[in-house]
Structures are given as C-alpha cells and as structure tokens.
A and B are shown apart, each in its own frame.
Chain A
Amino acid sequence: MRPQWQGGGHAEARPAGGKGGRGLSAIVEFDSVGLRYGTGAEVLRDLNFRLQKGGFYFLTGPSGAGKTSLLKLLYLAQRPTRGRVQLFGEEISDAPRAALPEFRRRIGIVYQDFRLIRHLSAFDNVALPLRIAGSSEADVEAPVREMLAWVGLADRSSARPPTLSGGEQQRVAIARAVINRPQLLVADEPTGNVDADMAQRLLHLFTALNRLGTTVVVATHDISLIKEMPGAHMIRLEGGTMVDPTGALKNPPQTGWVEVQR
C-alpha cells in the first residue's frame, strides 16, 4: 500500500552514527530531549527517536504519560528544556523566535479541544491558515470550499462553531489543519469524543492525507483505531519516557516500529 512504510521503514534503517545519511528522510529527530514545566519535575525524559518522512505514527500511553507534551514539542508550542529537537532537518530547539512561524506553517495541528475560533464561520476558520500564509482572497475561496466538501460540510460553511455538532466541529478542525497541505500533521486525541463510525471516517481522512505525503502523528488511547492501521508505527510513552516500542503493544510486531537511537 504505502511504500514509505511497508517494510520500508526496516529496510531504511541506517548505520548507527551515519549522521549525514540519517537526516535525509527524518522529518523529526529527538536527541536526549527532556521537558519540564517551570520548576517542576521533568515530564519528558531522555527521548531519542526519529520519525520518517511520510510515516504514520500513533503515540500512546497512559494518561499523564506526556503525550500532549511531546506533541507540543512537535508543533512548536514548547521548547525542550534539555536536548535537541530537529524538524524538517533543521535544529529548532534554540532557533530564534522569529524563525518559528515559518516552521509552524508547515505543520497542521488538530487540538484535542478543536480550538476553533467561535466568532468565525466554518469557512473563515478553515481559511485562516491560508490567510496567515499570505494567500490572496482569490486563492482562498476554491481550496476552502473543496476542503469543506471533502469533510462533508459543504452546506455548513457559514455556520459558526457553536452551532455545529461535536463531530462537525472536529471535521472543521481537521479541514483547518490540512488546508495548507502540511508536511507534518499532529493530532491530539482527534477521536476522543466521537463515536466509532466518526472515528473511522476521520482516520480515513488522515490516511488519505498520508498517501499524499504528509507525515502523520496521532496521539490516542483508542486501541481500535490503532488496529485499523496495521501498517502504522507505534510510539509508547510511560512516565515521560519511551518504552520498548515493539514489545509494549499487542499489535502485530511488524507494525510496532519506530527507530530508536541508542
């Protein structure tokens, strides 16, 4: 199905220490990353891993394990307090603040609580990333209509979020996250409060996007969702560290794959 990760992940495993070659297809690289909020204890510790360009990743672990914190590092809402984070092959842990917007425009985020702007119509919510990226109004209309149609909300484009159902809001949030065809899509519990059918439909949106080349990272507790994607890579967090990515999950072993640096 998807050459990027059907066995390809294993085949592409690079010789340890071959730094130059390693950067080529890694979209995310964590090196001894730790994160603490304020003066508290570290909520993430010693994270060493790389995510392949075009991969599909599930991030699981018990509540409080640090999944959202890890995603915040990915979508640049937090800087690591320790270690290095590379995104798109560039060091961002100590990049100047002014350099961050450019990276953020390449990342789509589905927040757990949607974070739709309630006084904007569904159309304007979905259009926001395009407008921020500087698209002219002429270049906004068609893609937004198309995206809304794609998530099945063509007839709700002028509705404001409070008048939409939970599932509809979730689809607006997803449309907004993908409108710019991000290179990296980060979704935090995107199926947390929808029924199983809707969860499946949303997952299909992600896989369709993934087929177009977007790297997808989904944090979820939803085992059934993971089972739907036998080819996806797994990352499991417990107490702020990654636990054996292949052994910890009951999924078919060839799916539980993430490259962990020693």
Chain B
Amino acid sequence: MLSWLFASSSQRRILGRPAGVSGPTPWLIAIMSFSMIVVAAAGLAVSNTAGTIAKSAEHRYSVQVPDGARNLPAVISALRSARGVSGAEAVPEADMRATLKTWLGSEADNPDLPVPAMASFDLAAGADIAAVERQVKSAAPNATIVAHRENLRPVLRSLRVLQWLALGLVALLAAAAAAAVVLAARGALDTHRFTIDVMHGMGATDVQVTQLFQRKIAIDALVGSAAGAAAAAAVLLLFTASATALGELTGGVRLGLADIMLLLLLPLALTALATWVARTAVLTALRQAL
C-alpha cells in the first residue's frame, strides 16, 4: 500500500545514514511551517473580520437629517411606517458629539459646531430602498440615505487585499519550502552518487533508489512541520490570550473550528508537498543517467 513510500530497514542501511531526524531540512521545514501557519491564521482572522463587518453592514442604512432638531421626529415616524424597515432609531446629538470628540477633542462640544442629526435603520432583504427614500424625502426633503455597505467598501476592499496577500505569502512559503527540499534532495543524491551508480549497475530501478531517499525526506518534513505547527500554535495562543488588551484592534475576532482544521491541515499538506517534490526531484535527477 504505502510500500512505495517506505524502504525496509535493510534497504535503509544502504545509504548508511544515521537513523532519525538529522540535517538542516527539518529545521527549514519547521520555519516554513511556523511562518505559513501564523500568516494563514492572520489571513483567516482578517477574512473573518471582513465577513463580520460586511454582514453587520449589509442591511444597515443611515439617514443624515439636516436641521435635525426640527425634522428628525418626522423622519423617524416616516421610517417606522415604511415597508421592510425595522430598528429605526435616532442617533441622539449627544452620541454624535461623543463620537466626534475622538477626532475633534473638546471642540466637539462647541455648540457652534453644526452636528447633523442621524437616524439609522435595518432594511429587510428584498425591500425597496427607493420607496423608503421617497417617504423619508417627503418628511424631510434634504435628508440623504447612505448604505453602510457603501461607507465600508474601501475598508472591506483593504481587508480583502490583506487576505489575498496572506494567501499569496502562504503559497510563496510553500514554494520556498519546495525549492529547499529540491536542493536537499539533490545534495543527498550527490552525496550518495557512488552508491546509486553501483545500485544502478546491479539493476536497481529508479523507484527503488528513490525509496531510499523519500522515507528520510518524508520523516524530516513531517517532524519539521509538526514542530513548526506546535510553535505557531503556542504563539497564536499567547497572542489571543494577550489580545484582550488589543480586543479593539482585532474586533474580538476568533478563529472558528473550520479555520483551526484548515490550519492543522497546513503542516500535513506541507509534508505531502515536500515528499512529493523530493520524490519527483530524485526521479528526475536519476533519469539523467543511463
């Protein structure tokens, strides 16, 4: 079944290598695995954040009401009577000023600063925003309706870019790991060139020779990936634990079960990739000889 992958103990002796994990390859794979998982976790967190933001904003609208003191009650009642509208509420002027304070400081409390009145509401899926807008305009002609989704579009776009960046980085790290494995495999071939020539002369097939190498590389890759994954898990847990302080920054975003499964698959995928690449590299190199 997997016998193509694994050489017997007497076959392993042929290369005369110490048993167990050795050489720089496991370290290299561990570093790659660690980086891949951390980057992928960040990418997933960004993706989840973007999803949460997009979802919360999807059906949410605001109405900006100039001359709010006079018009706001009419707008609110117009909204409440409109079809498909729920959760219509006025954003009190005090709230607006509190928000502005973040940007303007105490100047926000200046009564001379005109602060528009705001109302916000949710619109049921499939309801007609144009009809709502007409009713609002009849209550307050200068009022404007803004979909939150519109306001958030640039932010979401940035988040998506970050997400793709993370994905690209993971792919690059995988490519770098593969390249390193190819170099390691070629190095091992050079080291054992003599033994391989002798074996070929006796009628060993390329697959037989490759078996001697791929077991070692598969084990190196598996051990390296697992070690990198463990280190990444430790770092991610530490980060999450200390993230209460950073809660605002991360938006309290957690990785879901599916995300964690995906992250756990990464080291396994890296092991499989490394083994396959090494096998292919060895077979290709062997084919150069007669």
9 A-B interface contacts by CB (under 8 A): A97-B290, A101-B200, A104-B203, A106-B203, A115-B197, A120-B13, A128-B198, A129-B202, A132-B208
In the complex, which residues of chain B have a beta carbon less than 8 angstroms from the beta carbon of A107?
Answer: 203
In the complex, which residues of chain B have a beta carbon less than 8 angstroms from the beta carbon of A97?
Answer: 287, 290
Instruction: Write the nearest CB–CB distance from A63 to chain B, whole angstroms.
Output: 23
Stretch at the interface among A11-19, A70-78, A147-155, A225-233: A70-78
Contact with A along B200-223 (1 / 0, CB 8 A): 111111001000000000000000
- Pairwise interchain contact B202-A132, C-beta atoms closer than 8 A: yes
CB contact between A101 and one of B13, B194, B198, B205 (< 8 Å): that residue: B205
CB contact between A115 and one of B11, B198, B203 (< 8 Å): that residue: B198
Give the residue among B199, B202, B208 with the most A Cβ atoms within 10 A. Answer: B202
Check A2 for interface membership: any CB of B closer than 8 A.
no
Check A260 for interface membership: any CB of B closer than 8 A.
no
A131 to B16, CA, bound (A): 15
A76 to B200, CA, bound (A): 10
Check A100 for interface membership: any CB of B closer than 8 A.
yes
CB contact between B10 and one of A101, A119, A124, A129 (< 8 Å): that residue: A124
In the complex, which residues of chain A have a beta carbon less than 8 angstroms from the beta carbon of B8?
Answer: 137
Check B176 for interface membership: any CB of A closer than 8 A.
no
- Pairwise interchain contact A128-B199, C-beta atoms closer than 8 A: yes
- Pairwise interchain contact B290-A75, C-beta atoms closer than 8 A: no
- Pairwise interchain contact A76-B199, C-beta atoms closer than 8 A: no
In the complex, which residues of chain B have a beta carbon less than 8 angstroms from the beta carbon of A77?
Answer: 201, 290
In the complex, which residues of chain A have a beta carbon less than 8 angstroms from the beta carbon of B14?
Answer: 117, 120, 124, 128, 131
Interface residues of B (CB under 8 A from A): 8, 10-11, 13-14, 16, 194-195, 197-205, 208, 287, 290
Interface residues of B: mostly helix, strand, loop or mixed?
Answer: helix
Instruction: Write the nearest CB–CB distance from B190 to chain A, whole angstroms.
Output: 16
In the complex, which residues of chain A have a beta carbon less than 8 angstroms from the beta carbon of B290?
Answer: 76-79, 97, 100
Instruction: Write the nearest CB–CB distance from B50 to chain A, whole angstroms.
Output: 52
Interface size class of A (residues with CB under 8 A): 20 to 34
Instruction: Write the nearest CB–CB distance from B28 to chain A, whole angstroms.
Output: 26
- Pairwise interchain contact B202-A137, C-beta atoms closer than 8 A: no
CB contact between B203 and one of A79, A119, A124, A133 (< 8 Å): that residue: A133
Interface residues of A (CB under 8 A from B): 75-79, 97-98, 100-107, 109, 115, 117, 119-120, 124, 127-129, 131-133, 137, 140
Instruction: Write the nearest CB–CB distance from A87 to chain B, whole angstroms.
Output: 13
Quick one: closest B residue to A102, CB to CB?
B203
- Pairwise interchain contact B198-A75, C-beta atoms closer than 8 A: no
Quick one: closest B residue to A128, CB to CB?
B202
A75 to B16, CA, bound (A): 26
Given A124-B13, A131-B10, A131-B11, check contact A117 B194 (CB 8 Å).
Answer: yes
Quick one: closest A residue to B8, CB to CB?
A137
CB contact between B202 and one of A104, A119, A120 (< 8 Å): that residue: A104
- Pairwise interchain contact A132-B203, C-beta atoms closer than 8 A: yes
A115 to B208, CA, bound (A): 19
CB contact between B204 and one of A76, A78, A101, A109 (< 8 Å): that residue: A101
CB contact between A119 and one of B16, B197, B205 (< 8 Å): that residue: B16
In the complex, which residues of chain B have a beta carbon less than 8 angstroms from the beta carbon of A102?
Answer: 203
Quick one: closest B residue to A106, CB to CB?
B203
A137 to B8, CA, bound (A): 10
In the complex, which residues of chain A have a beta carbon less than 8 angstroms from the beta carbon of B201?
Answer: 75, 77, 104, 109, 115
A109 to B203, CA, bound (A): 11
A101 to B13, CA, bound (A): 21
